Amino acid sequence: MSDRDPQPVERQLPTEEARDLLALVRDIAQREIAPKAAEEEDAGRFPREVFTLLSESGLLGLPYDAEYGGGDQPYEVYLQVLEELAAARLTVGLGLSVHTLASYALATYGTKQQQVEHLPAMLGGGLLGAYCLSEPSSGSDAASLRTKAVRENGGEWVIDGTKAWITHGGIADFYTVMARTGEDGPRGITAFLVPGDAPGLTGATPEKKMGMKGSPTAQVHFDGVRVGDDRRIGEEGQGFFIALSALDSGRLGIAACAIGLAQAALDEAVAYATQRRQFGRPIADFQGLRFMIADMATQIEAGRALYLAAARLRDAGRPFAKQAAMAKLHCTDAAMKVTTDAVQILGGYGYTADFPAERYMREAKVLQIVEGTNQIQRMVIARHVAGPEAR
């Protein structure tokens, strides 16, 4: 590795406050997150203390209302924070994105009373959230979920079922859970806020994954879990709509994480290519690699521009679902391509765990799968562009 510092990303930030925020985040990322990333990912260790630090630094509720402990930041700023964190360690960037996703239902559809009671602890009180939509037999077809919530004599709800693939499953302090309370299909689903220590809620042994080994992904079992009606979010039957609306914003988080990961891979590849010599010259002199580097940088810039354009639509209160799906699709495919090319630029060393390029490549893969696979993103985009499918 050379001592060459990567070129700083030229960020478009709307305020001086946002510039200070990004400087703080970069400092935390470089001092507290990046130095331990490789070792802890290898050991499969979740850095809970980093999330405590992010909470203490006011970074766990950035896009939400300051009245409830949020940071009142527009999405275009929050997403660039995510990008910096993901560049340091994807487990942290994606973890914050999932926490934000898990907080969305209550922050957007909760009653005033629910928000006063729960949001300050969720957004700035050190709690960590999980979002529970997927199940063992329902992934892309999420509306077919089977976890049931049944109301007992107009009193408490009793939740039974198994959620699958849950990020922070088993370690989260709160779970936003979509459960069936009525008819089959999307209209029979309701959202609930379930505390992590609710009796009957258990996390299974985390999955053994290809990458992001420090981020626990586990099934969560609900075995007669009881919650009061004051923990129902939104109307009965509104849960699927809430879940999809959360995912529109969540996909922007995944897009930003993908660009952070790709940027880290590009920086690594350029640092290596300027130092490694073959045929008497740095390999960065060879046009075959220069063109690869140019393509990598272009895909990253295009991805950043796309997610920021979608974020600015969201910040302006305009529809952004199509652009969010496009950003998720483009940025995660770009991250897969850029991280694969980074391994190629490092040659044999790229295939070893001595350099982070191989980890970046393994981590990029999951971003094409989570929060709607990239096939599902294409379906969403096509519906916006070409209209609904004729059945």
Ligand X SMILES: Cc1cc2nc3c(=O)[nH]c(=O)nc-3n(C[C@H](O)[C@H](O)[C@H](O)COP(=O)(O)OP(=O)(O)OC[C@H]3O[C@@H](n4cnc5c(N)ncnc54)[C@H](O)[C@@H]3O)c2cc1C
Which of 46, 109, 165, 222 binds ligand X (CB under 6 A)? It is 165
Which DSSP string corresponds to 319-357?
--HHHHHHHHHHHHHHHHHHHHHHHHHTHHHHTSTTSTH
133 lines the binding site for ligand X (CB under 6 A): yes
Binding segment (CB under 6 A) for ligand X, from list 24-32, 51-59, 120-128, 165-173: 165-173
Q: How far is the CB of 134 from ligand X (least distance, A)?
A: 3
Q: How far is the CB of 373 from ligand X (least distance, A)?
A: 3
Of 261, 283, 301, 387, the closest CA to residue 345 belongs to: 283
270 lines the binding site for ligand X (CB under 6 A): no
Q: How far is the CB of 144 from ligand X (least distance, A)?
A: 10
Of 345, 365, 364, the closest CA to residue 355 belongs to: 345
Which CB sits closer to ligand X, 100 or 134? Answer: 134
What is the distance between the alpha carbons of residues 299 and 303, in angstroms, rounded to a whole number? 6
18 lines the binding site for ligand X (CB under 6 A): no
Q: What is the phi-psi region of residue 44: left when phi exceeds 0, alpha when psi lies from -120 to 50, beta otherwise? A: left
Task: Give me the residues paired with residue 130 across strands.
Answer: 175
What is the distance between the alpha carbons of residues 88 and 92, in angstroms, rounded to a whole number? 8
Q: Phi and psi at residue 198, in whole multiples of 5°?
A: -65, 130
167 lines the binding site for ligand X (CB under 6 A): yes
Count, in order, helices (H) and strands (E) of the chain: 12, 10
Q: How many residues bind ligand X (CB under 6 A)?
A: 20
Which of 117, 369, 383, 384 binds ligand X (CB under 6 A)? It is 369
56 is catalytic: no
Which CB sits closer to ligand X, 28 or 132? Answer: 132
What is the distance between the alpha carbons of residues 135 and 300, in angstroms, rounded to a whole number? 33
Q: What share of the chain is helix, strand, coil (3-state, %, to 5)?
A: 55, 15, 30
Q: How far is the CB of 131 from ligand X (least distance, A)?
A: 5
367 lines the binding site for ligand X (CB under 6 A): no
Structure tokens that stand for 234 in this block: 């939104």
Which CB sits closer to ligand X, 103 or 296? Answer: 103
Q: How far is the CB of 172 from ligand X (least distance, A)?
A: 9
Cβ–Cβ contacts within 10 Å for residue 110, how many? Answer: 22
Cβ–Cβ contacts within 10 Å for residue 35, how many? Answer: 13
Of 158, 241, 161, the closest CA to residue 202 belongs to: 161
171 lines the binding site for ligand X (CB under 6 A): no
Q: Which of 358, 363, 371, 389 is catalytic?
A: 371
246 lines the binding site for ligand X (CB under 6 A): no
Q: How far is the CB of 217 from ligand X (least distance, A)?
A: 4
Q: How far is the CB of 136 from ligand X (least distance, A)?
A: 8
174 lines the binding site for ligand X (CB under 6 A): no
132 lines the binding site for ligand X (CB under 6 A): yes
CA distances from 140 to 76, 369, 372, 375 (A): 28, 10, 6, 9
Which of 2, 7, 30, 375 binds ligand X (CB under 6 A)? It is 375
172 lines the binding site for ligand X (CB under 6 A): no
339 lines the binding site for ligand X (CB under 6 A): no
Binding segment (CB under 6 A) for ligand X, from list 6-14, 85-93, 316-324, 362-370: 362-370
DSSP 230: G
For ligand X, which residue has the nearest CB? Answer: 139
289 lines the binding site for ligand X (CB under 6 A): no
Cα(first)–Cα(last) distance of the chain, in Å?
Answer: 56
Q: How far is the CB of 128 from ligand X (least distance, A)?
A: 12
140 lines the binding site for ligand X (CB under 6 A): yes
What is the distance between the alpha carbons of residues 299 and 336, in angstroms, rounded to a whole number? 11
Which of 79, 105, 143, 166 binds ligand X (CB under 6 A)? It is 166
Positions touching ligand X (CB under 6 A) are 98, 131-134, 139-140, 165-167, 209, 217, 366, 369-373, 375-376
Would you please indicate which residues are annotated as catalytic (active-site) residues? 371
